[in-house]
């Protein structure tokens, strides 16, 4: 799910980065689609994925020149999410992984499918994909426990992220709710 690049990601390495939902690169990493210098186009989807990931003109620039792109530029154009010193690379990848794995697996999978399948569709078709993914998650356990955790104040909005907090006895009951009644729908 999260690609970690600690050196050169040329040809297939760049294409693997293009397919991953998230990516982190070391400061010294570089990315390239150099197949044009061999007289061939990218053979494993690079001509389709790279322009979708970084934009048509930036993708064409990488494909047509074959020139390497340093990690900082790869982050600027959206090929990776961030760049860190090599010694911090695995920790930087573990942070979002830990955050993501706190969520219901069915919800995470549905988000990935909705974005991956719907990104290149017209808006109406993409919304239909999203609605289908939503409907598929409704019977899942995460839909029952997620709102309950939120209502029990175990999930709070903080710094543009959800953070799980242990329930506290000091939390005052909300209006219209009797203490000790933590079930959703009662």
CA-to-CA separations, 130 to 2, 55, 119, 120, 140, in angstroms, rounded: 22, 23, 10, 13, 16
Smallest CA-to-CA distance from 37 within 9, 8, 68 is with 68
Active-site hit among 11, 15, 18, 33: 15
d(C-alpha 59, C-alpha 120), whole Å = 16
Active-site hit among 11, 18, 33, 35: 35
61 is catalytic: no
35 is catalytic: yes
- Three-class DSSP category at 155: strand
Active site residues: 15, 35
């Amino acid at each position: 799910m999260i690609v970690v690049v600690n050196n050169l990601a040329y040809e297939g390495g760049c294409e693997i980065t293009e397919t991953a939902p998230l990516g982190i690169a070391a400061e010294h990493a570089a990315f390239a689609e150099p197949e044009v210098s061999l007289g061939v186009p990218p053979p494993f989807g690079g001509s389709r994925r790279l322009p979708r990931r970084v934009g048509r003109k930036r993708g064409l620039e990488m494909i047509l020149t074959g020139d390497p792109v340093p990690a900082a530029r790869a982050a600027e154009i959206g090929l990776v999410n961030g760049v860190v010193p090599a010694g911090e690379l695995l920790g930087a990848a573990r942070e979002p992984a830990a955050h993501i794995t706190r969520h219901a697996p069915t919800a995470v999978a549905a988000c990935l499918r909705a974005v991956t399948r719907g990104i290149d569709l017209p808006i109406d078709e993409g919304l239909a994909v999203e609605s289908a993914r939503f409907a598929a998650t409704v019977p899942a356990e995460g839909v029952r426990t997620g709102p309950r955790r939120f209502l029990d104040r175990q999930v709070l909005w903080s710094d543009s992220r959800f953070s799980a907090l242990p329930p506290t006895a000091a939390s005052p009951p909300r209006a219209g709710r009797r203490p000790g009644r933590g079930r959703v729908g009662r």
